[in-house]
Every structure is written in C-alpha cells, then in structure tokens.
Homo-oligomer: A and B are copies of this chain.
Amino acid sequence: MIYLDHNATTPLHPRAFEAMLPFLKELWANPSSPYRFGSQAKAAVEFGRGQIANCIGCKPSEVVFCSGGTESDNLALRGVVRALKSKGNHIVTTAIEHPAVLNTCKALENEGYRVTYLPVTEEGVVEMAALRASLCDGTILVTVMHANNETGVIQPVEEIATTTRARGVVFHTDAVQSAGKLDRKLAELGADLVTFSGHKLYGPRGVGVLYVREGTPLAPWMTGGTHEHGLRAGTENVAAIAGCAEAVTLAFEEAETEGHRLRSLRDRFELQVGAAIQAVRFNGSEAQRVPNTSNISFQDVDGESVVLGLDVRGICVSTGSACSTDDPEPSHVLRAMGLSPRAAQGSVRFSLGRDTCAADLDATVSALKDTVAHLRRVSSIRGDLE
C-alpha cells in the first residue's frame, strides 16, 4: 500500500507508541488521585506539557490538552467569544477553514454572532487588505488557519498577528496542518491561541492541544472537574498525552530535514505529473505551501473516480478533507479559490509523509496516468482537450 493521505491522519510513530505503553500498562492511575501512584500519572502529564511547551516555545502553563483538533478549535472559538461577549459579537474568519472552525462559526452565527468569511486569492491565500477592512469595533476574534488542509497553502499568520495585536483583537490559528511540518515554533507565530492535533503528526488519536497565550481571555467550555487549569474538564488521557508529546518532540526535531526531503519529493512529483498528464492544474502551487501537500485538478474527470482508480491500485489519496467525504458538494476551499464546480470536482489531494519515498511517487504517477486516461476515455466532457 502506498499511503499519500497524511493530511487525513498519520501512522502512530513507534517512539510515540513506546511513550504511551507505560501508561496503558503499569502507570494507569488517574492523575488527579491523591496518592503516589496518582502523582506518577500527574507527573507524566506535566512532563508532556513541558516537552510540548519547549517545542512550541511557550510556558507549560500555556498548554491545554483536550481530545483533538476539533475540540481545540471549539474551545478556542467558543471560549473566546464567551469570555468577550460583553465586548462585541463580530468574528472574522476565512472561506477556506476546516469544518471544525467553519461549522463552529456557523453555529455561533445561529447564537447571534456576526461572522465575516474572508475571500482568498486564486492561490488560496487570504488577502490582508480584506482582513484589515473587516475589523471593526465589535470584532472580538479573528480565526485564520495556518496551513490549509486541502491545498497546504500557508496563510500570513504573522502579519495577521501584527494587525490583531495592534487592534487589541484576539487571534486564533488552526495549525493542525502545519504543526510539525514547518521548522517554526508555533507560539512564535504571534497568535494568541494555536490549535494542533496529535494524530496529524504521528501521535495518537484522542489528544489535541490548544496553546493559550498567557492573559488571553478564554472561558472554559467543557465543564466538570478542575482539570487543565480549570479550562478543560475530564480525566486526562495520560497515554495519549505522553504519545503526543513524544510525537511533537520528534516532529519538531526533524521538521527541517524532513521538510526539505518532502518538498523535493513533492515538487518532483508535480513535475512528473505535469509531464505525464495533460490538462492538470496544481492548486495553490504558486503560494507558499507546507512541503508535503499537492492538490491537483484533472480536467474532465471526477476526483472520486480518481481516488477509487488509485485505491484499486493500492494507493490511498483523497479528494479533500476526510470529514467531508460524504459531502457531495465540491470543495469549498477550491471554490473559494475561483475554481469552477467541475474543476473542483476533478481535484485530488496527495499528502506525503515520513514513510513516502521516491519510488512510491513514481508508482503513483504511473497509476495516475492510467487512471486519468481511462476516465477521460469514459468521460462525456472534453474540456480543452477536445
């Protein structure tokens, strides 16, 4: 099997698995328990918190553990607007966010908040001028993702942070798709809140992180016991936290070398695809992208058919966000970049990872060539090729 869907999820790294084992086997106490056995578990949570703080460049007390990227996004958005509800009701986001942010914004609209969805350029980058113009007195939160999950396109978060800081507006960035892929300390991006998720960087499922810059107004969201500085209730998932901390450590250790390796593999792949297959479009490729992601539109064919054609040949790719697999609408991200519904429908995401090698990509190019040729033979549409 050739797995080229690392933006959907990643395999658990053996070192992360090893880091989890003691807490699945011997040290299974509840970290809140008042005996030494409990303290060991508590110490593991705090050790993990320290490891992550170190990797992202913040204080341990600024790291909040929760159950995943989706929860981290929900906590950030709902926690900030709740904490600041007396200050205003306007939220600024983009048209290309992950559903965890987008649908939360929609839910907040139903609760009476006003949301601006910023457009993006043809290359999928949010426009700073539009962002600046959107800010008003009632703006309490800006949430713009760091790297897009479908295209890998990187948003100008440092610039946004400068703007929001000057305006006194809280800024959250969903860094689920950039964490561990860039040689960059996430807390130094300048955002007040940063989301990332264990299973997207070779850590376990069931753990997410929210970095909360000290002093950022944030109301608790999941209520119950006084875990996570009172910000997130629920017995701590010690094994997952330990595994995540190990994975983050590994990812940040290797981000630079692995980034170079993946970037050159990805760029070579795109060159090969461009050479082997006519009428393709590399979405967002003129913009800065995370090194592992390539989003390609194949004219006159349907993306789902390409996915199945490759699946049959043992290659795993997807049409976009795994969460919207059952959504018949063409990608909201590509549509926001100005692609026609048909072009968006013909798009496929290839996301490389630690285990990807050049031979995998050679095989993929060849399988892709056959599949697209077959589908174009069947297709009733003949675009520019006619």
Count chain A residues whose beta carbon lies closer than 8 angstroms to a beta carbon of B: 75
Task: Select A237's contact among B25, B35, B205, B307, beta carbons within 8 Å.
Answer: B205
Whether a CB of chain B sits under 8 angstroms from the CB of A104 is yes
Give chain B nearest CB distance to A14 CB in angstroms.
Answer: 9
Give Cα A224–Cα B68 distance, bound, in whole angstroms.
Answer: 12
Give chain B nearest CB distance to A323 CB in angstroms.
Answer: 2
Given A74-B224, A206-B237, check contact A325 B34 (CB 8 Å). Answer: yes
Binds B, one of A2-10, A112-120, A284-292, A356-364: A2-10
Chain B residues near A316 (CB-CB < 8 A): 29, 33, 35, 37-38
Chain B residues near A103 (CB-CB < 8 A): 223-225, 233
Using CB atoms, name the residue of chain B closest to A316.
Answer: B35
Give Cα A8–Cα B74 distance, bound, in whole angstroms.
Answer: 27
Cβ of A73 and Cβ of B307 under 8 Å apart?
no
Copies in the complex: 2
Give Cα A374–Cα B37 distance, bound, in whole angstroms.
Answer: 23
Chain B residues near A322 (CB-CB < 8 A): 30, 32-34, 38, 225, 235
Cβ of B12 and Cβ of A225 under 8 Å apart?
no
A215-226 vs B, CB cutoff 8 Å, 1 = contact: the mask equals: 000001011111
A16-43 vs B, CB cutoff 8 Å, 1 = contact: the mask equals: 0100100011001110111111100000
Chain A contacts to B: CB under 8 angstroms: 1, 3, 5, 8-12, 17, 20, 24-25, 28-30, 32-38, 66-71, 73-74, 98-101, 103-104, 106-107, 197, 199, 204-207, 220, 222-227, 233-240, 304, 307-308, 310-311, 316-319, 321-327
Further pairs besides A104-B224, A206-B240: 19, Cβ < 8 Å: A1-B37, A3-B37, A12-B25, A24-B204, A33-B318, A34-B322, A35-B308, A35-B317, A36-B311, A38-B322, A67-B234, A98-B224, A103-B224, A107-B223, A205-B235, A206-B207, A225-B323, A226-B323, A235-B323
